[in-house]
Amino acid sequence: MKVRGPRFKLVPIVAFVLLGVLALQIPFTKLLGADVRFTLFDLFAPIAGKLFAPVLGVFGVFIALLVDFLLHGASLTVGSLIRFFPTLFAVWYFGSRKHTSSLIAVAAIIAFNLHPIGRTVWFYSLFWTIPLIMSYFKNKHVLARALGSTFTAHAVGGALWIWAFNLPAATWISLIPIVILERSVFTLGIAGSYLLVTKIQAELKKQHLPGFLQAFFK
């Protein structure tokens, strides 16, 4: 029996949002220079772009971030506003099959280097050539997709952060080894999450499930 209709299409999105809100409560690390934390959510959020298609994935992640924002008192700060955008672009990159998804990182490089401090540490923005390079491999290798995705988020966040907080050049330089380690962990987390979810989908798809559960494995 085939599952049809928008009601069933919303089932996995709602489940993802609930899981995302829970994951947002588990801290992973804190962004230097501002009161913004990364959470377990950042380790799997981008895969929504591939599981649900880019637009639906972005929608699901946005709702999860919005619910988390409201749960924590909706304290409207520059940092909390910026927190929304990097992950959404990472979701889009992970879900899109097009090379043009890497233009997000190109725009971030330009924005970073237009800033007076950014120009003095231009080499920091070389990290953001990674999504451009990975765009030629991401449709064949999940690690390339995950690596490009996490550095897309990093690019958007970095470009916004330098304009919002004017962090000194020394801070950006000190962040380089941290970025390498942090983004390596994010890459493995994103790739591992995607492989795990698709494996579970493949196994459960073989089972005789009720109609509303089949919606998860279409």
Would you call 75 helix, strand, or coil by DSSP?
coil
Looking at residue 30, its pLDDT comes to 60
| Residue 1, domain member (yes or no) | no
How far from the centroid of its chain's Cα atoms is residue 207's Cα? 31
Looking at residue 70, its pLDDT comes to 87
| Residue 114, domain member (yes or no) | yes
| Residue 33, domain member (yes or no) | yes
CA nearest to 32, candidates 172, 142, 218, 200: 172
| Residue 119, domain member (yes or no) | yes
CATH code of the domain in which 23 resides: 1.10.1760.20
The domain total for the chain is 1
* Structural domain for 185, as ranges: 6-217
| Residue 144, domain member (yes or no) | yes
Radius of gyration of the chain (CA): 18
The tally of CA atoms less than 13 A away on the side-chain side of residue 145 is 25
| Residue 125, domain member (yes or no) | yes
| Residue 151, domain member (yes or no) | yes
Per-residue confidence in pLDDT tens, the chain, 218 aa: 344 444 446 778 888 999 999 998 888 766 554 455 778 899 999 999 999 989 999 999 999 999 988 887 766 777 777 888 999 999 999 999 998 999 999 999 999 999 999 999 999 999 999 999 999 999 999 999 999 999 999 999 999 999 999 999 999 999 999 999 999 999 999 999 999 999 887 777 777 655 445 554 45
| Residue 56, domain member (yes or no) | yes
pTM: 0.86
